[in-house]
Homo-oligomer: A and B are copies of this chain.
Amino acid sequence: MACDLCDGPGGVVLWRDERLRVVRVADPDYPAFLRVVWNAHVKEMTDLSADESEYFMRAVFATEGVLRNLLNPEKMNLASLGNQTPHLHWHVIPRFRDDRHFPNPVWAPAAREGDTQREIQSRTVADETLQRELAGKLGSALR
């Protein structure tokens, strides 16, 4: 069966090891929307071993830490859904009071017009910066 996360990286790859990768999703409303993707095609967290799921979550939380440090969001949103792409991936989304859906989930109908270019710009982090910060944080979290 064709799977988007087997056939491609699923976004701009910012960090990667043998088990997982961190990618930036191209979402115009959420420039710092990252995903942590398990490299192997596995459907549910409880299909992983305890060691694997713990490793995965340490990567997710390290990614959350990087985004909090860089952007100081109002709230972090974490989700593993995968109804359409049943290949484990965690959405890691920094949320802001005036973003398009706040305080609703990003999958809900928009709460307001899309952000202005100025707002989007203020929440955009260069890939090089994300790569550097993720390398530091994941490197130590996954040791």
Q: Is A109 in contact with chain B by the CB < 8 A criterion?
A: yes
Does A16 touch B at the CB level, under 8 Å? no
Give the Cβ gap from A67 to chain B, nearest Cβ, in Å.
10
In the complex the two chains form, is B75's CB within 8 Å of A46's CB? Answer: no
Asked whether any CB of chain B lies closer than 8 Å to the CB of A129, the reply is no
Q: Which of A98-131 contact B (CB under 8 A)?
A: 102-105, 107-109
CB pairs A–B below 8 angstroms (15 shown): A44-B64, A44-B68, A45-B64, A53-B57, A53-B61, A75-B81, A75-B83, A77-B81, A77-B83, A78-B81, A79-B79, A81-B105, A83-B95, A105-B105, A105-B107
Closest chain B residue, CB of each to CB of A74: B83
User: A99 — nearest CB in chain B belongs to which residue?
Assistant: B83
Give Cα A86–Cα B103 distance, bound, in whole angstroms: 11
Residues of B within 8 A of A78 (CB): 45, 79-81
- B contact residues around A109 at 8 Å (CB): 109
Closest to A109 in B: B109
Least CB distance from A88 to B in Å reads 10
A-B pairs with the 9 shortest C-beta distances? A79-B79, A83-B103, A105-B107, A78-B80, A107-B108, A84-B103, A77-B81, A46-B65, A107-B107
Complex alpha-carbon distance, A65 and B96, angstroms: 33
